[in-house]
A and B are shown apart, each in its own frame.
Chain A
Amino acid sequence: DADVTQTPRNRITKTGKRIMLECSQTKGHDRMYWYRQDPGLGLRLIYYSFDVKDINKGEISDGYSVSRQAQAKFSLSLESAIPNQTALYFCATSDAGSSYNEQFFGPGTRLTVL
């Protein structure tokens, strides 16, 4: 079984709709992250959380919100989706005890906003 899972894997939605992307992990890691990937731009950090009570904005948080429901679950919401949010979204985790912050990525969610 995969250690970091994301649902859905693919989603097509319309402008203005509310969308939630979910991430679950069985690695027991405290740290969780949401990134978006666009061609030629690499991975950009949206939000990150170091425990259930800790939520931090990343580089590009505008238009997004997150919820850390439990140590193992971290959800990303688009309150009102717009076409330029079309991208590949990755969830990642890392171990607080890791000095080099190796991150483990989920398989990604491909989101298309029409």
Chain B
Amino acid sequence: GQSLEQPSEVTAVEGAIVQINCTYQTSGFYGLSWYQQHDGGAPTFLSYNALDGLEETGRFSSFLSRSDSYGYLLLQELQMKDSASYFCAGNTGGFKTIFGAGTRLFVKA
């Protein structure tokens, strides 16, 4: 089967660093994506890892280890506006994308 597991909730303080983990079981896996969704909004793309290692985009970084079927999203210098849900998503054969259930991030002042 194909599934991605991530924590349901994470809480962190403004200005801190938070890591959201994602483990997956997918066949024909081509890469791991991350999406952000604010309450009442649509998911928006954040990052993609096709190869092992770290990808950095401003305050956000994403990491993939294909041998461990594991990835994470790292958010630095947290801001209140980062409070949202974050989804990892596995790209599989045929360009289907399977999403995890999402991690709700609460940023406290």
A residues at B contact (CB < 8 Å) = 31, 33, 35, 40-45, 48, 50, 56, 58-59, 90, 94, 99-108
Interface segment among B13-21, B71-79, B95-103: the answer is: B95-103
Q: A40-B8, A42-B99, A43-B99 are in contact. Are A101 and B42 (CB under 8 A)?
A: no
Determine if A45 and B98 form an interchain contact, defined as CB atoms under 8 angstroms apart. yes
Distance (whole angstroms) from the CB of A46 to the closest CB of chain B:
12
B48 touches which one: A45, A102, A104, A108 (CB < 8 A)? Answer: A102
Determine if A41 and B101 form an interchain contact, defined as CB atoms under 8 angstroms apart. yes
- How many residues of B are counted as interface, with CB atoms below 8 angstroms from the partner's CB atoms? 23
Question: In the bound complex, how far is the Cα of B33 from the Cα of A111, in angstroms?
Answer: 27
Interface string of B23-43 (1 = CB under 8 A from A): 000000001010100000111
Main secondary structure of the interface of A (DSSP, over half): strand
Q: Does B69 contact A (CB under 8 A)?
A: no
Q: Does B91 contact A (CB under 8 A)?
A: yes
Question: In the bound complex, how far is the Cα of B95 from the Cα of A45, in angstroms?
Answer: 12
Q: Which residues on B sit within 8 Å (CB–CB) of A31?
A: 95
Distance (whole angstroms) from the CB of B24 to the closest CB of chain A:
13
> What 3 A-B pairs come out closest when comparing CB atoms?
A100-B48, A105-B42, A42-B101
Question: In the bound complex, how far is the Cα of B26 from the Cα of A101, in angstroms?
Answer: 16
